[in-house]
Amino acid sequence: MYHNAGVAGIILAGGKNSRMGAEKALLKIGAKPIIEIISTALKPLTEEIIIVSNRPEQYSTYGDLVVGDIIPGCGPLGGIHAGLLHSSGQAALVTACDTPFVSANLARLLMKHAAGYDLVVPRYRGFLEPLFALYNKSCLNTIEARLKQGRNKITGFYDDLRVRYVEEEELRSAETELDRVFLNVNTPVDLAKAQTIVEVAKK
């Protein structure tokens, strides 16, 4: 089990935004950019916030460190690789830049199960959630080898590692609002849904 002194928060902000027509991470929900909401949520849980983006000038105020891909053009797995390589701790909680409702309870659950595993990943509604997962630095060699082979599937290396899958029943024991936690703001409809969630919560 890790405490927050050994865990970095990595926010992946390098994805394409064709469906939104804008930088998703900088879209506002309420009065704050999504990336600021995520960073604020991660700070009490982690030792440092690392943002992976090839546009550091846009994100420098939201994290402790902004790093670019080391092996470019490899998608989220390349971002995880860069973030882990630059992190000072032994593990990192990885999130996407378009998931505004980070759950502290769920993050702690992942950390609780970290001992003895290279990766702790939720499985919700039958699908793995690799962009809200806990990665140990022991993943690095395997990830780097995959990237150099051009094998960029984000879950494609799991068979080579010790993976703790956290199933839905266990997820619900820590967090009841799982649909909200795993909401990705990919479209204007998703953004409107997230805005509604925030507005309802204020009432």
pLDDT value, residue 15: 61
Rounded to the nearest integer, the mean pLDDT of the chain is 93
pLDDT at 131 over 80: yes
pLDDT for 4: 61
Spell out the residues 6+ positions from residue 195 whose beta carbon is closer than 8 angstroms to its own.
Answer: 29, 30
- The torsion angles phi and psi of 164, rounded to 5 degrees, stand at -100, 110
Q: Which residue has the tokens 């992190």?
A: 87
Neighbours of 137 (CB within 10 A): 15
Percent of the chain with pLDDT over 90: 84
CB neighbours of 80 closer than 8 A, spacing ≥ 6? 10, 12, 52, 94, 135, 139, 143, 154
pTM surpassing 0.75?
A: yes
pLDDT at 18 over 90: no
**pLDDT confidence tier of residue 88, bands split at 50, 70 and 90:** very high
Please name which of 41, 37, 15, 44 lies closest in space to residue 131, comparing C-alpha atoms: 15
Distance CA 163, CA 198 (A): 34
* Tokens linked to 16: 């394409």
Q: Which CATH architecture has domain 4-202?
A: Alpha-Beta Complex (3.90)
Instruction: Give the DSSP H/E element, type plus range, for residue 9.
Output: strand 7-12
